[in-house]
């Protein structure tokens, strides 16, 4: 896998959660872009460690992505990669392990890096665009 493929894959996983509604205040985030713009990033989140029980959550922590952020009301919203097929997740993990070693980054640093890349990509796109459908018809790794 390449870094571009990994970022696209993670981003697509996150975008499947939108529109997302905050369970606390009821605010709805229509798109990942709106979420990135409106929420405060929260990472690493210590309360999240309690949930490191199964494989995909562990993988998500290693791979970063958007992961967790605070709604404007202060409530924590989480995006996960739990819908990702295990084979795909394993390929991602393998790539991540090799890259962390190569770049001399630890898990948190690498997660931060990936998440920032996704955020930048999302924010670089014009507002109001239909990012979800453009992603689905975009250049996908097969
Ligand atoms: Zn809220």
Q: Where are the domains of the chain?
A: 3-124
Q: How many A from CA of 24 to the centre of ligand 1?
A: 5
Cβ–Cβ < 8 Å for 89, 56: yes
- Write down the pLDDT at residue 58: 53
Q: For 126, phi and psi rounded to 5 degrees?
A: -65, 145
Rounded to the nearest angstrom, the distance between the alpha carbon of 58 and the centre of ligand 1 is 26
Determine how many CB atoms are found less than 10 A away from the CB of residue 26. 9
| 76 Cα: distance to centroid of ligand 1 (angstroms) | 8
CA distance linking residue 49 with residue 58, whole number of Å: 9
- The Cβ of residue 86 has, within 10 Å, a number of other Cβ atoms equal to 10
- The number of beta carbons lying within 10 Å of the beta carbon of residue 41 is 15
74 vs 121, which has greater pLDDT? 121
pLDDT band with cut points at 50, 70 and 90 for residue 42: low
Report CA(12)–ligand 1 centroid distance (Å). 23
The pocket of ion ligand 1, defined by CB under 5 A, consists of 22, 24-25, 27, 71, 73, 75
**For residue 130, what pLDDT is reported?**
52
Average pLDDT, the chain: 73
In angstroms, what is the span from residue 126 Cα to ligand 1's centroid? 25
Ligand 1 centre and the CA of 123: distance in Å? 21
* DSSP tag of 52: T
Sheet holding 68-70, edge to edge: 40-41, 68-70, 76-78
Nearest to 111 by CA among 25, 48, 50: 48
Which pTM was predicted?
Answer: 0.68
């Amino acid at each position: 896998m390449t870094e571009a493929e990994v970022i696209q894959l993670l981003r697509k996983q996150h975008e499947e959660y939108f529109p997302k509604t905050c369970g606390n205040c009821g605010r709805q985030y229509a798109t990942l872009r709106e979420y990135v713009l409106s929420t405060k990033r929260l990472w690493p989140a210590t309360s999240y460690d309690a949930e490191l029980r199964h494989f995909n959550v562990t993988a998500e922590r290693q791979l970063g992505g958007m992961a967790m952020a605070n709604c404007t009301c202060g409530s924590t919203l989480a995006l996960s990669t739990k819908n990702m097929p295990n084979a795909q997740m394993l390929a991602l993990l393998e790539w991540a392990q090799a890259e962390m070693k190569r770049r001399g980054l630890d898990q948190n640093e690498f997660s931060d890096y990936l998440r920032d890349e996704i955020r930048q990509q999302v924010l670089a796109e014009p507002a109001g665009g239909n990012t979800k459908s453009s992603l689905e018809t975009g250049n996908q790794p097969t």
